[in-house]
Amino acid sequence: MRSGSIALALSLSLAAPAADAPSAPAEPVVSERELLLGAPYQLEVSVAFHKGLLHWLDSLATLTGSGFTAGKTIEAHRREYERILGLPKPVDQRMLTRFREGRLAYAPGVGEAGRDGLTLAFLEAADLGEALDRASAMLAPEAGKDLADAMRHFEPLYRRIWRNGMVPDSFVARARGDARRADLASFLAGVARFSGAAPDPASLPQLVLVPVPSGSGTHAQAIGRFLLVEIRPGESLKDEVAPIVHENVHFLFYNMPPARLEALRRATFAVEPWGAEAWGMLAEALPTAIGQGLADRAYGDQSWSLDQPWYHDPAIDGYAKRIFPLVEGALAEGRPLDEALIAQLVAVYR
């Protein structure tokens, strides 16, 4: 839900004294286009200040849904703002309003397919300067100035939270030494064969890692080939297996050959009376069954259970658990996601 008052959005109820962030390494340890898992599933990983800044400001401004990057950790980011930076000043509130207006100025008229365009300009850019140059070319002059002025204002504030990328960098460092890293790559390669959508070497999926405070959940989101995943301090690969796999399933599903995807959609819609409804639910239930179901059980921590929630929406959570045995069997047998399997998945929807 979007807030109608930016002042209220930043004036949080749990005030705390400002505190300096701990020291951090001078330079990030993640190289450009590093592969998180290696062969046989090539997954790039990115730790970049300007991508984290965009997500942080989207969260403070309550910008959620198509075209934006904030999610269920909005309140965690707001509490962290107060804990580290103190109560927002009037100038901060004004600048956050300008950021929000600049972001919203892009949305009208672009259509659903193009709503992520401004976000992609940041995710594709090498740094904040390039990102703002790209954004200014996509916005009216006043909106472009609002966005640039606001982001430059918050840049030094976010650096105290970003800490040279310490949290995501440490996550990647731990992942490099994870004994299950190769097994997870093989699992994702199997999921790619299941979907019939092997990643294009020229446009590999890229994991965009951004920090989130401890004691909160994790927001994850697929935006084109970019898979944004929040990382909490001290986490290792097993802690984030579920969202990483979940977002890669999104990427693979929407990178199926168009004719194959259309054939699956037609097969789903052919099941009356709930086929069309099931197709919409499968968009989240299938990644959940594979990520929070199969992958988390095999490669995650020891808390996995059918009884605990896998997804925050109870309807999708229930559907994912109903299709879980079917998806598990198909992947174990090397069976593809085809019209016959889709018919089975839809049959259990009700």
Spatial separation of the C-alpha atoms in residues 205 and 181, rounded to whole Å: 17
Is the predicted pLDDT of residue 220 greater than 50, yes or no? Answer: yes
166 shares a domain with 308: no
Is the predicted pLDDT of residue 19 greater than 50, yes or no? Answer: no
172 shares a domain with 139: yes
Residues 6+ away with beta carbon under 8 Å from 201: 42
Residues 6+ away with beta carbon under 8 Å from 42: 35, 199, 201, 204
190 shares a domain with 52: yes
Per-residue model confidence as pLDDT tens digits over 231-242: 999 999 999 999
133 shares a domain with 51: yes
Q: Residue 324 domain-assigned?
A: yes
Is the predicted pLDDT of residue 162 greater than 60, yes or no? Answer: yes
Q: Residue 175 domain-assigned?
A: yes
Domain range for 59? 28-241
Q: Residue 168 domain-assigned?
A: yes
Q: What is the number of structural domains in the chain?
A: 2
**Residue at which a domain ends, from 185, 213, 241:** 241
Per-residue model confidence as pLDDT tens digits over 303-329: 899 999 999 999 999 999 999 999 999
Q: Residue 48 domain-assigned?
A: yes
| 13-17, 127-131, 253-257: least confident range | 13-17
315 shares a domain with 210: no
**Residue at which a domain ends, from 241, 268, 299:** 241
| 164 touches 52 (CB < 8 A) | no
| 192-196, 201-205, 330-334: least confident range | 201-205
Kindly indicate the confidence band of residue 199, based on its pLDDT and cuts at 50, 70 and 90. Answer: confident
Q: Residue 12 domain-assigned?
A: no
